[in-house]
Amino acid sequence: MTEPDVIVKVTPAAELPPAEENPGSPPAPAPVTAAERISSVDVIRGFALLGILVMNIVGFGFHPAAYGDPTVQGGSTGANLWIYLFNMVLVDGKMRGIFSLVFGAGVFLLTTRLEERGAPAADIHYRRMLWLMLFGIVHAYLLWWGEILYPYALLGLALYPFRRLSPRGLLIFAAVLVIGTTGFFASMAFDLRSTRDKAAAADAAAAKGAKLTEEQIDAQKEWKDKLKEMKPGPEEIKKMNEGFGGGFAKVFKARAGIVMRWHSMPYYSPMMWDLLSMMLLGMALIKMGALSAKRSYVFYAPLALVGYAIGIPLHLYTAWSVVTHNFEIIRSSFAWIPYQPARIAVCLGHVAVLMMIMKAGALRWLTSALAAVGQMAFTNYVSQSVICSTLFYGYGFGLYGKLQRYQLYYVVLAIWIFQLLTSPIWLRHFRFGPLEWCWRSLTYWRRQPMRIERSQPDAEIALAPAL
Q: Is residue 216 part of a domain?
A: no
Q: What is the pLDDT of residue 34?
A: 65
In a domain, 215, yes or no: no
**Number of domains, the chain:** 1
- Alpha-carbon distance of 153 to 274, in angstroms, equals 15
Mind listing the pLDDT tens digit of every residue in the chain (467 residues)? 433 333 333 333 333 344 344 445 556 676 666 667 889 999 999 999 999 999 999 999 999 999 999 999 999 999 999 999 999 999 999 999 999 999 999 999 999 999 988 889 999 999 999 999 999 999 999 999 999 999 999 999 999 999 999 999 999 999 999 999 999 999 999 999 999 999 999 999 999 888 888 898 999 999 999 988 899 989 999 999 999 999 999 999 999 999 998 888 888 888 899 999 999 999 999 999 999 999 999 999 999 999 999 999 999 999 999 999 999 999 999 999 999 999 999 999 999 999 999 999 999 999 999 999 999 999 999 999 999 999 999 999 999 999 999 999 999 999 999 999 999 999 999 999 999 999 999 999 999 999 988 654 444 333 333 32
Domain membership of residue 84 (yes or no) is: yes
Would 1 be classed as within a structural domain? no
Instruction: Say if 422 falls within a structural domain.
Output: yes
C-alpha separations of 34 from 39, 431, 458, 461 in Å: 10, 8, 9, 6
What's residue 14's pLDDT?
35
Q: Which domain holds residue 184?
A: 6-208+221-463
The answer to whether 279 and 100 have CB atoms below 8 angstroms apart is yes
* Vertex 148 angle, CA 306 and 37, to 5°: 70
- What whole-number distance in Å separates Cα of residue 262 and Cα of residue 260? 6
- CA distances (Å), 108 to each of 100, 136, 166, 369, in order? 13, 21, 12, 25
Residues 6+ positions from 99 with CB-CB distance below 8 Å: 45, 48, 49, 52, 148
Decide if 48 is inside a domain.
yes
Does 416 reside within a domain? yes
In a domain, 254, yes or no: yes
Q: What is the pTM of this model?
A: 0.88
Q: Which of 160, 147, 177 is nearest to 276 (CA)?
A: 177
Residues 6 or more apart in contact with residue 140 via CB below 8 angstroms: 147, 149, 150, 255, 259, 262, 263
457 neighbors 13 (Cβ within 8 angstroms)? no
